[in-house]
Amino acid sequence: MLSSAPSTNAVRGRVHSWETMGTVDGPGIRYVVFMQGCPLRCLYCHNPDCQAITGGQEHTVEEILQDILRYRSYLRHGGVTVSGGEPLMQPAFVAALLQECQRWGLHTALDTSGCASLEAAAMVIPYADLVLLDIKSGDPELYRTVTGGSLTPTVAIARYLAELGKPVWIRYVLVPGLTDQPHNIGAVADFVATLGNVLRVEVLPFHKMGEYKWMELGLDYRLKETPEPTPDQVRLAKQIFGDRQLPVT
pLDDT in tens, 206-230: 998 888 898 899 999 999 999 999 9
**In this structure, what CATH number is given to the domain that contains residue 202?**
3.20.20.70
The answer to the question of residue 43 being in a domain is: yes
pLDDT band at 2 (very low <50, low <70, confident <90, very high): very low
Looking at the DSSP assignment, which residues form a beta bridge with residue 12?
Answer: 60
Looking at the DSSP assignment, which residues form a beta bridge with residue 172?
Answer: 203
Q: Are 179 and 139 in contact (CB under 8 A)?
A: no
Range of the domain at 19: 6-242
Q: Are 206 and 158 in contact (CB under 8 A)?
A: no
Distance CA 143, CA 147 (A): 6
For 94-105, write each residue's pLDDT tens digit: 999 999 999 999
For 158-213, write each residue's pLDDT tens digit: 999 999 999 999 999 999 999 999 999 999 999 999 999 999 999 999 998 888 89
Complete DSSP assignment for 64-133 = HHHHHHTTHHHHTTSEEEEESS-GGGSHHHHHHHHHHHHHTT--EEEEE---S-HHHHHHHGGG-SEEEE
Q: Residue 3: left if φ>0, alpha if ψ -120 to 50, beta else—which one? A: beta
The answer to the question of residue 67 being in a domain is: yes
The answer to the question of residue 147 being in a domain is: yes
The answer to the question of residue 247 being in a domain is: no
Q: Residue 75: left if φ>0, alpha if ψ -120 to 50, beta else—which one? A: alpha
Q: Look at residue 43 in the predicted model and tell me its pLDDT.
A: 95
Q: Using the predicted structure, report yes or no on whether residue 5 has a pLDDT greater than 80.
A: no
The structural domain count of the chain equals 1
For 49-84, write each residue's pLDDT tens digit: 999 999 999 999 999 999 999 999 999 999 999 999
The answer to the question of residue 249 being in a domain is: no
The answer to the question of residue 248 being in a domain is: no
